[in-house]
Structure 1
Amino acid sequence: MAAGPKKIVIDTDPGIDDAMAIFVALQSPEVEVIGLTTIYGNVYTTLATRNALHLKGTKLRIADFVHGADGLGNQNFPAPNGKPIEQNAAGFLVQQASLHPGKVTVVALGPLTNVALAIQSDPAFVKNIGQIVVLGGAFSVNGNVNPAAEANIFGDPDAADVVFTSGADVLAVGINVTHQVVLTDSDRDQLAKSNGKFAKYLDKILGVYFDYHHDAYSTKGVYLHDPTALLAAVDPSLITYTEGVVRVQTIGITRGLTLFYNKQKRFAEVTEWSDKPSVKVAVTVDAPKVLKLVMERLINS
């Protein structure tokens, strides 16, 4: 008998690509979204919460130049009807993991502050949580905040190091993979022409995001970071991964750097790398299939 849909909590900083990932999740029969928790990143946390509520109804480095000042392409939507619950994000994560041991996947689309707080506040959390899929890191490629660091890890490097060394089942989906998944200008036109309510909504908010990519990367399209990480949680066959230890640099010029140790050499001396648990790091992605799933699920909404 099938176990039913996989329970996921999306920890998010909406954010245009976050909006897309949330919509894809809501349109994915394989998963049940049991909660959205919010964190700063693309916008400040209070606005991220407002945006998350709005989407579900329909140290701070803030990337409002990528996503627009309101985080959703400067559309300034009316206040959402939903209300955030009183419980904080870390408390919610701990509670859900203990209610459904081994059955909850956290898809972390922003800095890892909430997830690290959950790990630190409850020793049983790493055993109770099914998997933590992290959108973050730049493995063997340049970062996107600076050459060393990817934005989500850079947002809270200490938290990221806690998560990567926690012993939980962690899958990191870095920009080395997500930069292979591009939504082109013509894909956007298809969304705009479709009758999907999420598709139409995204077409409205994508303008700012497309302009940013045209300027920053000289591309005719946008990277689908968040939907790729989300779909890796929905359908693990979309990616392949390698396993090893990941540490995060927390100070200096390379603050936010994610370094992968493949365990091929046994080092004699005891170091910060010794006896650390392995994590999974995505190395390839079926980009055409990810794009196809994103398009289908948005158009059929």
Structure 2
Amino acid sequence: MAVPKKIIIDTDPGIDDAMAIFVALRSPEVEVIGLTTIYGNVYTTLATRNALHLLEVAGRTDIPVAEGSHVTVTKGTKLRIADFVHGADGLGNQNFPPPIGKPIEQSAAAFLVQQANLYPGEVTVVALGPLTNIALAIQLDPSFTKNIGQIVLLGGAFAVNGNVNPASEANEFPLSTLRDAADIVFTSGADVLAVGINVTHQVVFTDADRKKLAASGGKFAQYLCKILDVYFSYHHNAYSTKGVYLHDPTALLAAVNPSLITYTEGVVRVQTIGITRGLTLFYNKQKRFAEVTEWSDRPVVKVAVTVDAPTVVKLVMERLMDS
């Protein structure tokens, strides 16, 4: 057996975050060494509460939780929160009792930097929410981009319509007109793999899958079946689908098993103003441009193109039912 890959999950739980966290904890290929929290599906304080709660449900209170930023990388306080997708509590309006545990004293950015320094080249960050904590880690310690093994992020739309507006995917929607967190991460020089909704929309967890999950005896399966109603209702209404998209579990499994996806490489920039705010623009570098622009000499990142959707769903089902 290979040594498990160390991962930190940067998360905004979130129903599909809960699913991804549980799948990670049931994946022998990885060792979850921490959760860091961020606003997105819920505000950061609630994201921290939910992360602690999920670890208590899983019996993994040994895993530290570091609370992330409550504001954008440019100190903006106007945040876009997706409670209409996940419920007011982020977990399907179940109003679970508060967790017993507390987050560690370190901020998320400081924890990310510390772990990258402790295990240079060995830690993968799986970023399931807006990229503020990752950008702050880069600003806190410029060597973070060299010390971190890889950043696998859920983000971008890449030639399909976004899910905030036709241009933007939720995690890349900038909340100020200044250079935003996503653009900082994409141009940082770190080893970045972006898993966008062009890929995650290929992975559908159907109503039939949900029934199969409910019929199983798995602890995680039973927990998720309690919280999935809101998420399914949103997808039925918004997309007219008989199922839900597995955004976060797909990104997580791309980190666990990279053979599940194919990718292309190029430069990615994020539009921060106008009606295309949040648009992820991909430059494949096939053409050389004579003039110097904001695209010149930017680091190359990986962008997922295809995914083995049946295997992703199969792995999610197996790991949740066998829990």
The TM-score bracket by the shorter chain reads over 0.9
Is 1:133 aligned with 2:152?
A: yes
Q: Which residue of 2 aligns with 1:80?
A: 99
1:42-121 equivalence runs, <5 A: 42-58=41-57, 59-121=78-140
Q: Which residue of 1 aligns with 2:16?
A: 17
Partners in 2 of 1:223 and 1:285 — Cα distance?
13
Shift of 1:3: 4.8
1:209-231 C-alpha deviation (Å, 9 max, x unpaired): 00000000000000000000000
Does the CA-based 8 Å contact 1:41-1:155 persist in structure 2? no
1:236-276 C-alpha deviation (Å, 9 max, x unpaired): 00000000000001111111110000001000000000000
Q: Which residue of 2 aligns with 1:163?
A: 185
Q: Which residue of 2 aligns with 1:197?
A: 219
Is 1:182 aligned with 2:204?
A: yes
Q: What is the one-letter code of the residue matched to 1:87?
A: Q
Shift of 1:88: 0.4
Shift of 1:123: 1.2
Shift of 1:155: 5.2
Does the CA-based 8 Å contact 2:174-2:277 persist in structure 1? no
DSSP 3-state at the match of 1:69: coil
Partners in 1 of 2:100 and 2:30 — Cα distance?
24
Partners in 1 of 2:5 and 2:118 — Cα distance?
14
DSSP 3-state at the match of 2:113: helix
DSSP 3-state at the match of 1:271: coil
Q: CA RMSD in A?
A: 0.8
Partners in 2 of 1:171 and 1:210 — Cα distance?
28
1:48-71 C-alpha deviation (Å, 9 max, x unpaired): 000000011113000000000000
Aligned residues: 300
Does the CA-based 8 Å contact 1:137-1:172 persist in structure 2? yes
Q: Which residue of 1 aligns with 2:236?
A: 214
Is 1:278 aligned with 2:295?
A: no
DSSP 3-state at the match of 2:231: helix
Q: Tell me the TM-score normalized by structure 2.
A: 0.92
DSSP 3-state at the match of 1:229: helix
| Runs of 4+ more than 2 Å apart | none
Does the CA-based 8 Å contact 2:23-2:316 persist in structure 1? yes
Partners in 2 of 1:178 and 1:86 — Cα distance?
34
Does the CA-based 8 Å contact 1:111-1:155 persist in structure 2? no
* Runs of at least 5 residues in structure 1 that lack an aligned partner in the other structure: none
1:90-146 C-alpha deviation (Å, 9 max, x unpaired): 000000000000000000000000000001110110000000001000001000000
Q: Which residue of 2 aligns with 1:287?
A: 309
Does the CA-based 8 Å contact 1:73-1:207 persist in structure 2? yes
Q: Which residue of 1 aligns with 2:67?
A: none
DSSP 3-state at the match of 1:105: strand
Q: Tell me the TM-score normalized by structure 1.
A: 0.99
Partners in 2 of 1:27 and 1:248 — Cα distance?
34
1:142-170 C-alpha deviation (Å, 9 max, x unpaired): 00000000001115571000000000000
1:160-205 C-alpha deviation (Å, 9 max, x unpaired): 0000000000000000000000000010011111000000000010
DSSP 3-state at the match of 1:283: strand
* Runs of at least 5 residues in structure 2 that lack an aligned partner in the other structure: 58-77
DSSP 3-state at the match of 2:130: coil
Partners in 1 of 2:153 and 2:248 — Cα distance?
10
DSSP 3-state at the match of 1:106: strand
Q: Which residue of 2 aligns with 1:226?
A: 248
Shift of 1:86: 1.1
Q: What is the one-letter code of the residue matched to 1:43?
A: V
Q: Which residue of 2 aligns with 1:250?
A: 272
Partners in 2 of 1:221 and 1:148 — Cα distance?
24
Identity %: 85
Q: Which residue of 1 aligns with 2:27?
A: 28
Is 1:263 aligned with 2:262?
A: no
Shift of 1:26: 0.4
Does the CA-based 8 Å contact 1:8-1:35 persist in structure 2? yes
Partners in 2 of 1:3 and 1:40 — Cα distance?
34
Q: What is the one-letter code of the residue matched to 1:272?
A: E
Q: Which residue of 2 aligns with 1:173?
A: 195
